[in-house]
Amino acid sequence: MSQPIEHLYRPGLEGIIAGETDISAVQQDSLMYRGYAIEELAEHSPFEETAYLLLHGELPTAAQLKAFGATLDKYRALPSEVIETIRLMPKETPGMDVLRTAVSMAAHFCPISGDEKPALLDRAARILAIVPTIIGARLRFLAGKAPVAPKPGLSHAAQTLYLAFGREPSAIEARLLNLTLVLYAEHEFNASAFAARVTASTLADMYSAIVTGIGTLKGPLHGGANEETIHLMRQFKSGDEAAAWTENAIATKQKISGFGHRVYKNGDHRARILEGEMEKLAPGRSDRHLLDVYFAIKNTVWERKQIHMNVDYPCGLTYYWLNLPIDIYTPLFVASRVSGWSAHYIEQFTNNRIIRPLSRYTGPPERSYVPIAKR
Question: Footprint of ligand COA on this chain (CB under 6 A)?
Answer: 12, 221-222, 225, 253, 255-262, 305, 307, 310, 312
Give min distance, CB of 313 to ligand COA, in A: 7
Task: Give the residue with the Cβ less far from ligand COA, 213 or 260.
Answer: 260
Starting from the edge strand earliest in sequence, which strands make up the sheet with 36-37, in order?
Answer: 24-26, 31-33, 36-37
Instruction: Please report, for the chain, how many H helices and E strands are present, in that order.
Output: 16, 3
Of 312, 166, 153, give the one whose Cα is nearest residue 232.
Answer: 312
User: Cβ-closest residue to ligand COA?
Assistant: 260
The SS3 call for residue 306 is: coil
Q: Is 261 a catalytic residue?
A: yes
Q: C-beta of 279: minimal distance to ligand COA in Å?
A: 20
3-state secondary structure (DSSP) of residue 25: strand
Q: What does the alpha-carbon distance between residue 30 and residue 13 come to, in Å, rounded to a whole number?
A: 22
Catalytic residue among 156, 187, 261, 308: 261
Distance CA 202, CA 353 (A): 8
Closest separation between CB of residue 347 and ligand COA, Å? Answer: 22
What's the closest the beta carbon of residue 62 comes to ligand COA, in angstroms?
34
Q: Between 38 and 134, whose beta carbon lies closer to ligand COA?
A: 38
Measured torsion, CA atoms of residues 303, 308, 312, 316, in degrees rounded to the nearest 10: 30
For residue 222, indicate whether it is catalytic. Answer: yes
146 three-class SS:
coil
Rounded to an integer, what distance in angstroms lies between the CA atom of residue 302 and that of residue 296? 10
Whole-number minimum distance, CB 74 to ligand COA, in Å? 33
Instruction: Give per-residue burial for 144-159: e unless 16+ CB within 10 Å, then b.
Output: eeebbebeeebbbbbb
In sequence order, the 6+-apart residues with CB closer than 8 A to the CB of 113 are 119
Minimum CB separation of residue 253 from ligand COA in Å reads 6
* DSSP 8-state class, residue 372: G
The whole-angstrom separation of Cα 305 and Cα 260 is 10
Rg, C-alpha atoms of the chain: 22
The one catalytic residue among 205, 268, 292, 312: 312
Tell the smallest beta-carbon distance from residue 219 to ligand COA (Å).
9
Query: Distance between CA 256 and CA 221 in Å, rounded?
Result: 10
Looking at the Cβ atoms of 206 and 271, the one nearer to ligand COA is 271
State which residue, 203 or 251, has the beta carbon closest to ligand COA.
Answer: 251
Burial classification of residue 36, based on how many CB atoms lie within 10 Å of its CB (0-12 exposed, 13-18 middle, 19 or more buried): middle
List, by residue number, the catalytic residues: 222, 261, 312
